[in-house]
Structure 1
Amino acid sequence: MGESLLNESPGRRVPQAQRLRDLLEDAIVEGHYAPGDRLDPEALARQYECSRTPIREALAHLAASGMVKVAPKRGTFVARLSVTELVERFEVMAELEGMCGRLAARRMNAETLSALQRAQAACRQFMLEGDVNGYYYENGEFHRLIYEGSRNAFLAQEARRLHAMLKPYRRLQLHARQRLESSWCEHERIVAALIAGDADTAQRELKAHVLLQGERFNDLVASVRHLDQPQT
């Protein structure tokens, strides 16, 4: 179920609760836990050889992102999300990212832009090493800096919220052949547009970077086809 995430990528320290959350997200996305399945903290603690505290913290984050539902006195259950609902969320995410990029091209200060370039350099190193997990975490920082650079607190908050909902599916995409390389190249065009202050290009590149289309759409749908299968 992706236990390799518990092994940290060199150069980036990730809290245990976050790594556990990522493992659980992957297990749900990949169909190891089906919609409606109950997630028992004690059983999960035994499986991942840790205490129940980080498990409970991870489950709380999953509940906040909508991947699980908490039923009082009954437990925590995997939420139901259809492929159609997933695609709709990606469509909204693409628009939000585009808006962030457009505003960031006009408003991002030199300090945030420098941090973005450092994140992109780190992404390049992880890409060259073929380190999907390392790239994934640095990619999150890359996008967070663009949200911050928009200088619109409400927009940044909504972008972060939806990003948290979709991040396991975005991580799944990174495992597709050549996706690390293409993602990094897309980042390069985004950074260039932000440096140039080109709002139109920044918006267009960020929307294309996130939007599911063509082969990327087909690959993701094939990976999560179980979401639309009837439960027995």
Structure 2
Amino acid sequence: MQDLTIPSKSAPRELHSTSIAAQLESEIVAGKIKAGEKLDEQSLTKRFGVSRTPIREALHELVARSLAERVPYRGVLVVDITKERIEEMFEAMGEIEALCGRFAAERMTVGERVELEALHLRMSELSELGDATGYEAVNSEFHQLIFRASHNADLIDLANNLRLKLAPFRKSQLQSHKRMKRSNVEHEAIVTALIDRDSKKAEKALRRHLVSAAAEVITTMS
């Protein structure tokens, strides 16, 4: 099993649980922490130089994102993230986002449509700059706006919960500048359909967008 302990002097003394979860998340997705490995609280407190409370909160976040699981008498273990599992999650997300898009095309307010165009413009600028971190952050806002614009509370909850689980993989596929630019082109089709109130085209564009994202992730895993 990989030793997760490194001298605490190399890490900041105070780290928020979200930052710790993000670091562990990236290592799991990149395969640096393997499936079946135990995320040991004591080792992690030494590594990050923090108390057990933020470590426990970070592990809770990883479990919520289905990157790890709590196993009785064994602790928190990294799950085996297979291509089949990734495909299943993207398939479900594609259908949920497509439904959100169909409703949003019919229900978006004028203000929401203006905000959507502004977010797309900002992502176009970030794509040209090759700013993956900035693009990913605005991309999240873009999709969450579409969820909210469905104006269906239960659908919004479903979309946000599944997006949380897929977030590490959607983030990783946007590290490629080529994929970022293609994502932005796909967003253009989504925005056009939503602004035109074309529910069928919005649904289709969002479903294709998720298939494209899934293909990038799966190719990277090969």
Q: TM-score range with shorter-chain normalisation? A: 0.7 to 0.9
Q: Which residue of 2 aligns with 1:229?
A: none
User: Which entry has the higher C-alpha Rg, 1 or 2?
Assistant: 2
The percent identity for this pair of structures is 35
Unaligned runs of 5+ in 1: 1-14, 226-232
Q: Which residue of 1 aligns with 2:218?
A: 221
> 1:181 & 1:149 partners in 2: Cα distance?
25
* Alpha-carbon contact 2:130-2:177 (below 8 Å) kept: no
Alpha-carbon distance change, 221 to 55 in structure 1, aligned in 2, over 3 angstroms: same
Alpha-carbon distance change, 192 to 83 in structure 1, aligned in 2, over 3 angstroms: same
Q: Which residue of 2 aligns with 1:136?
A: 136
> 1:129 & 1:177 partners in 2: Cα distance?
9
Q: Which residue of 1 aligns with 2:205?
A: 205
Q: Which residue of 1 aligns with 2:159?
A: 159
Letter in 1 for 2:167: K
TM normalised by structure 2 equals 0.83
Q: Match of 1:137, SS? A: helix
Q: Which residue of 2 aligns with 1:35?
A: 35
Alpha-carbon distance change, 125 to 63 in structure 1, aligned in 2, over 3 angstroms: same
Of the two structures, which has the highest relative contact order with CA contacts closer than 8 Å and spacing of 6 or more? Answer: 1
Deviates more, 1:39-48 or 1:164-173: 39-48
CA RMSD of aligned residues (A): 2.2
Letter in 2 for 1:129: L
Aligned residue pairs: how many? 208
* Alpha-carbon contact 2:94-2:206 (below 8 Å) kept: yes
Q: Deviations over 1:19-46 (max 9, x none)?
A: 4322222111111111111112343344
Q: Which residue of 2 aligns with 1:85?
A: 85
In the TM superposition, residue 211 of structure 1 has moved relative to its aligned partner by 1.2
Unaligned runs of 5+ in 2: 1-14
In the TM superposition, residue 200 of structure 1 has moved relative to its aligned partner by 0.9
* Alpha-carbon contact 2:132-2:177 (below 8 Å) kept: no
Alpha-carbon distance change, 59 to 111 in structure 1, aligned in 2, over 3 angstroms: farther
